[in-house]
Amino acid sequence: MKRMKQFAALVMTAALTAGMASSAVFADGTFKLGAIGPLTGAAANYGTAVVNGAQIAVDEINAAGGINGVQIEYKGEDDELDNEKSVNAYNTLKDWGMQILVGSVTSGCSIAVSEKTKADNMFQLTPSGSAKDCTNYDNVFRVCFSDPNQGMASAKYMGEHGLATKVGIIYDSSDVYSAGIEATFEEEAANQGIEIAVKEAFTADNNVDFSSQLQKCMDAGVELVFLPIYYTQAGAILQQAAMLGFQPEWFGCDGLDGMLDMDNFNKELAEGVMLLTPFAADAEDELTQNFVAAYTEAYGVTPNQFAADAYDAIYAIKAACEQAGATPDMSVSDLCEALKTAMTEIEITGLTGTITWTADGEPDKSPKAVQIQDGAYVSMQ
């Protein structure tokens, strides 16, 4: 029992010290930025990527003198991919003195929190909340493409480049992201003269064996299979298709980003896969390379698009604050009003492209289409 007490005391002290170290006290007059995302649980890699990506941007900005000479204080809170916990995290950050929110990472949480930021009139910029309803309120902006936007862009790209006329879709009907893309893709496909021959769904409880879905695509003789899903399932689909000897064209969205880094995944299977993604970790430009180097050094993994979205979110806030001439002594509500206007006036060149915003919170940037060749992304035209 005594040992246990000692251990408990040790853990408590360690945790307290860690907590204090991370919130180093600056001179009064700092911008307090909060981030919310799933840091534990099944979606932890998304939340962690956002919190870490934002941290890198914050460190860079602080090292370069801050926003208009004002340093940023930054804190990330966990929401466990749960709407209710996300609101709790928001309230915690509010008690801490947060002035601007970067979050939440996932759509449902972001919608739940936007109800609260609306009531408090706090400026909210979600890096990756892609569902349409995330930006229902005028104080909420996002960095990523919306789901409908991605579905639309995918169908347009296929139509304009004449990739295929007979298409099969395999998607996750229990996932907001996947179902959201699928719905608009279907609408736009009709306009592009693309025939959707097969549409097969799976759910989160049933996402290991895809042989029946693939068999149906094979029987219908589709030329291209559209995969608006995350890379874990897409990897399994590619593996099982190879076993069946099924070789259509594959097309996906930004959810496929990360496939090449999967453990035990034969990269040859991904040869020729096309995807629309705002961010590719092995892009040649200096900004991306610096970011990837800094991120890999700090956290030991290659950043994904979530980290890139968060990085851009912080720089967007910096640009908007500078545009509006915001100072940290402004009230949360005044800051929100100033940033709301400033967001529509700025243009930033970030990791995910050159972005401008419309007043309804949507980013205006062009998706990059890439193809996997020899185990690396190659830009398509």
DSSP state of 299: H
Question: Is residue 92 near another protein by the rule CB under 8 A?
Answer: yes
Distances (CA, A) of 206 to 1, 235, 273: 45, 15, 24
Task: Provide, rounded to whole angstroms, the least separation between the CB of residue 41 and another protein.
Answer: 7
Q: Which of 13, 17, 68, 173 binds another protein (CB under 8 A)?
A: 173
Measuring CA to CA, which residue among 255, 249, 338 is closest to residue 46?
A: 255
Question: Is residue 87 near another protein by the rule CB under 8 A?
Answer: yes
Sign of CA dihedral 272, 276, 280, 284: positive
Q: Which stretch binds another protein (CB under 8 A): 77-85, 153-161, 311-319, 356-364?
A: 77-85
Q: Which of 71, 107, 124, 146 binds another protein (CB under 8 A)?
A: 107
- Subset of residues 9 to 28 that bind another protein, contact rule: CB under 8 A: 11, 14-16, 18-19, 22
Distances (CA, A) of 209 to 32, 247, 251, 276, 333: 46, 18, 20, 25, 50
Q: Which of 6, 17, 41, 366 binds another protein (CB under 8 A)?
A: 41
Q: Please identify, using beta-carbon distances, which residue of 78 and 254 lies nearer to another protein.
A: 78
CB 111 within 8 A of CB 134: yes
Task: Provide, rounded to whole angstroms, the least separation between the CB of residue 43 and another protein.
Answer: 9
Residue 248, C-beta contacts closer than 8 angstroms, at least 6 positions apart = 168, 217, 222, 223, 224, 225, 241
Rg of the chain, C-alpha, whole Å: 22
Task: Provide, rounded to whole angstroms, the least separation between the CB of residue 245 and another protein.
Answer: 30
Pattern 201-240, binding to another protein, x per CB under 8 A? --xxx-----------------------------------
- Subset of residues 316 to 345 that bind another protein, contact rule: CB under 8 A: none
Q: Which of 47, 58, 182, 217 binds another protein (CB under 8 A)?
A: 182
Q: Which of 99, 114, 146, 277 binds another protein (CB under 8 A)?
A: 114
Question: What DSSP letter does each residue of 47-90 carry, written as one string?
Answer: HHHHHHHHHHHHHHHHHTT-BTTB-EEEEEEE-TT-HHHHHHHH
Distance of CA 49 to the CA centre of its chain: 9
What residues line the site for another protein (CB under 8 A)?
8, 11, 14-16, 18-19, 22, 39-42, 77-78, 80-84, 87-92, 94-95, 107-109, 111-112, 114-115, 131, 133, 136, 173-176, 179-180, 182-183, 186-187, 203-205
